[in-house]
Amino acid sequence: MRWTYKPQPEKEKIAKLSQELNVDSLISKLLLQRGIETYDEAKKFFRPNINDLHNPYLMKDMDKAVKRIENAIKNNENILVYGDYDVDGTTSVALVSSYLKSFYPNVAPYIPDRYDEGYGISYQGIDFAEDNDFSLIIALDCGIKAIDKVAYASEKKIDFIICDHHRPGKEIPSAIAVLDPKRQDCDYPYDELCGCGVGFKLIQALAENKNQTMDDLLPYLDLVATAIAADIVPMTGENRILAYFGLIVINKKPRIGFQPFIHQLHKKELTITDVVFVIAPRINAAGRMKHGLHAVELMMETDFEKAQEMAVAIEKFNLDRKELDKKITDEALKQIEENNEQQDFSTVVYHKTWHKGVIGIVASRLIEKHYKPTLVFTKSGNKLAASARSVKGFDVYEALEECSEFIEQFGGHKYAAGLTLLPENYKKFKAKFEEVVKETLPEELRTPEITINSKIELGDITPKFFRILKQFAPFGPQNMRPTFMTSGLRDNGYGKQVGSDKSHLKLSIINGADKKTYNAIGFGLGDKYDLISKGISFNAAFNIDENHWNGNTSLQLLLKDIKEEGAPTTSH
């Protein structure tokens, strides 16, 4: 692991902010590293306000979208709410469908079949709309590149409203309205919304016209917070406000469809991490293993007993998904080793039987083992389909653009994308992708990085300090949980490897003159046991967290890495 340090703010700025906020210099330093320099900015950060959300009509085409929906309602048209099968797509469909259904009955959700229809808007979906007399499709979390599909729908007298957050191509589809803050000609003040966030802006605009207030929309924010967490968008600006209030809904009055999953946790308060690791995978599992519509129906369900039955089925999908992704990961790793397919700069693997629903997870698992931009391919009809995942700092979407001559279709983000290609182009694509990565991936991005906010002493970790630290949440990209470094540490002799395969490290740490011991856990750091067992002084990079055990709560260090004292680190 590479340890790098975030730039340290100027001492004068730290002192000024500390005085204004009446906090210690370490808190001020963490705020300044997040671009928060004044009392007012700190107030907005620590006390998010729902009224700070932007006017939805600042988004290009919002007026057209609202007008078309209102006309559809006036003319008693059938509205199809269409979204992708992942968490962002299914939450978006549940959000907009349930909001519209609260005052208008002729609304139906539609999720494409991952295997028959693939990603995004499909011709089958448009044919379904025609066969069932839908004259308006609201597409969420997809559609920004669906030029031909929107034209096809127009021929059938079906109108489209597109709500997307992916990067547009050179041409914008000829829909009635295209809501996408990443459009070059859109001046909306915040362009990092997820698909469900764009869907929320649409219902916010519709609500204004109905003289509803934000109080009427708060119950929908548990869906938006889940999408923000799962889609790994920046936890800044509007996303932070929406996630903050969405977590309040999840903890105080979650929708009935979420309750069976939340009850499993037996926790007083769920964090964004719980949403990422407990709620989101189960919503995703429906689309991966069976059909995304199961997840939408669960999220829209209002009867607790029915929701419990649905949740049991989705829990089974999730267990099946876990078994399958482990099996395919093992097969992929074996393929890399046995066939000597490991390329120097990228990982590209393929097997015709691999389950399309889990290849994205497998790509992420392969990066944990071989830290390189990774694509996992499987057979999909008469084409090959892949999920791409990237390493920190490398834009895999741009890399795929460089290989577009061999690709049939692709879409996605900087760190995750999907594509299809013809089987005869697989080897050419693989060679080209390796070449592109070799030329564009800087040397320093080829090893995983831990970014450290500040060096501290263990004595600095007080209950008061941690109380303020908790208020930096919800955490996410561009507002990550702070990482600290302390040097001159030793284990007090009780350190041990834990876990069934001894892959984790549990320590009681002492720090020089400070006689107090600090509990620490290092997941995946079991192989560092030799270092600490020799009694060698070491440095640790860690987060601070609470440990709940037997009704007691104590602070503990979540170790990210440890190094023998004197090992080199770098600065940003």
CATH for 473: 2.40.50.460
- Total domains present in the chain: 3
DSSP letter string, 164-181: --SPP-SS----SEEE-T
Whole-number pLDDT of residue 569: 59
- Single out the residue in 312, 330, 356 at which a domain terminates: 312
In a domain, 436, yes or no: yes
513: which residues sit within 8 A by CB, 6+ positions away? Answer: none
Which stretches does DSSP call E strand in 364-498? 374-380, 383-389, 409-412, 416-421, 449-452, 454-455, 484-491, 496-498
- What global pTM score does this model have? 0.90
In a domain, 330, yes or no: no
Instruction: Based on the fold, state whether residues 114 and 261 are members of the same structural domain.
Output: yes
Q: Is the pLDDT of residue 430 over 90?
A: yes
Whole-number pLDDT of residue 340: 62
Q: Are 362 and 376 in contact (CB under 8 A)?
A: yes
How far apart CA 292 and CA 399 sit, in angstroms, is 29
What is the percent of the chain with per-residue pLDDT over 90, rounded to a whole number?
77
Q: Is the pLDDT of residue 189 over 90?
A: yes
Q: Is the pLDDT of residue 513 over 70?
A: no
Confidence class of residue 414 from pLDDT cuts 50, 70 and 90?
confident
Q: Is the pLDDT of residue 572 over 70?
A: no
Instruction: Based on the fold, state whether residues 475 and 419 are members of the same structural domain.
Output: no
Q: Tell me the pairing of strands 570-571 and 416-421.
A: unpaired
Instruction: Render pLDDT for 357-380 as a digit per residue (tens, 0 to 9).
Output: 899 999 999 999 999 999 999 998
The 10 Å CB-count burial string (b at 16+, else e) for 160-191 is bbbbbbbbbeeebbebbbbbbbbbeebebebe
Q: Which residues pair with 416 in a beta bridge?
A: 389
Report residue 528 as tokens: 């560092």
Instruction: Based on the fold, state whether residues 256 and 133 are members of the same structural domain.
Output: yes
Alpha-carbon Rg for the chain in angstroms: 25
Whole-number pLDDT of residue 286: 87
Q: Is the pLDDT of residue 510 over 90?
A: no
Secondary structure class of 416 (helix, strand, coil): strand
Q: Is the pLDDT of residue 436 over 90?
A: yes
In a domain, 502, yes or no: yes
CATH code at 198?
Answer: 3.90.1640.30
Is the omega angle on the peptide bond into residue 260 within 30 degrees of 0, that is, cis? Answer: no
Whole-number pLDDT of residue 11: 95
Instruction: Render pLDDT for 126-153 as a digit per residue (tens, 0 to 9).
Output: 999 999 999 999 999 999 999 999 999 9
315: which residues sit within 8 A by CB, 6+ positions away? Answer: 282
Report residue 130 as tokens: 């025609």
Q: Which of 49-58, 106-115, 197-206 has the lowest mean pLDDT?
A: 106-115
Whole-number pLDDT of residue 117: 86
User: 386, 454, 391, 458: which is closest to 417 by C-alpha?
Assistant: 386
Instruction: Based on the fold, state whether residues 226 and 189 are members of the same structural domain.
Output: yes
Give the mean pLDDT of 279-289.
Answer: 88
Q: Is the pLDDT of residue 543 over 70?
A: yes
Average of per-residue pLDDT values in the chain: 92
Confidence class of residue 571 from pLDDT cuts 50, 70 and 90?
low
26: which residues sit within 8 A by CB, 6+ positions away? Answer: 454, 456, 460, 465
In a domain, 47, yes or no: no
What is the percent of the chain with per-residue pLDDT over 70, rounded to a whole number?
97
Confidence class of residue 341 from pLDDT cuts 50, 70 and 90?
low
CB count, 10 Å around CB of 224?
Answer: 27
Return the half-sphere exposure (C-beta side, CA atoms, 13 A cut-off) of residue 81: 26
The 10 Å CB-count burial string (b at 16+, else e) for 290-300 is bbbbbbbbbbb
Return the half-sphere exposure (C-beta side, CA atoms, 13 A cut-off) of residue 246: 28
Instruction: Based on the fold, state whether residues 229 and 249 are members of the same structural domain.
Output: yes
| Residue range(s) defining the domain that contains residue 294 | 56-312
Instruction: Based on the fold, state whether residues 264 and 377 are members of the same structural domain.
Output: no
- Single out the residue in 446, 467, 488 at which a domain terminates: 446
Q: Is the pLDDT of residue 27 over 60?
A: yes
Instruction: Render pLDDT for 196-236 as a digit per residue (tens, 0 to 9).
Output: 999 999 999 999 999 999 999 999 999 999 999 998 899 99
Q: Is the pLDDT of residue 36 over 80?
A: yes
Q: Which residues pair with 5 in a beta bridge?
A: 452, 571
What secondary structure letter does DSSP report for 232? Answer: T
Instruction: Based on the fold, state whether residues 137 and 270 are members of the same structural domain.
Output: yes
Whole-number pLDDT of residue 124: 96
In a domain, 24, yes or no: no
- Single out the residue in 416, 446, 476 at which a domain terminates: 446
Q: Is the pLDDT of residue 498 over 70?
A: yes
Instruction: Based on the fold, state whether residues 562 and 424 are members of the same structural domain.
Output: no
Q: Are 410 and 120 in contact (CB under 8 A)?
A: no
Whole-number pLDDT of residue 94: 97
Report residue 300 as tokens: 């829209």
How far apart CA 569 and CA 572 sit, in angstroms, is 10
How far apart CA 266 and CA 45 sit, in angstroms, is 29
Instruction: Based on the fold, state whether residues 180 and 205 are members of the same structural domain.
Output: yes
In a domain, 199, yes or no: yes
CATH code at 389?
Answer: 3.10.310.30
Instruction: Based on the fold, state whether residues 168 and 258 are members of the same structural domain.
Output: yes
pLDDT top residue among 342 and 239: 239
In a domain, 459, yes or no: yes
Instruction: Based on the fold, state whether residues 91 and 117 are members of the same structural domain.
Output: yes
Confidence class of residue 514 from pLDDT cuts 50, 70 and 90?
low
Q: Is the pLDDT of residue 566 over 90?
A: no
Give the mean pLDDT of 31-42.
Answer: 95
Instruction: Based on the fold, state whether residues 490 and 521 are members of the same structural domain.
Output: yes
In a domain, 15, yes or no: no
Please give the C-alpha separations between residue 187 and each of 206, 298, 492, in angstroms, as whole numbers.
20, 36, 58
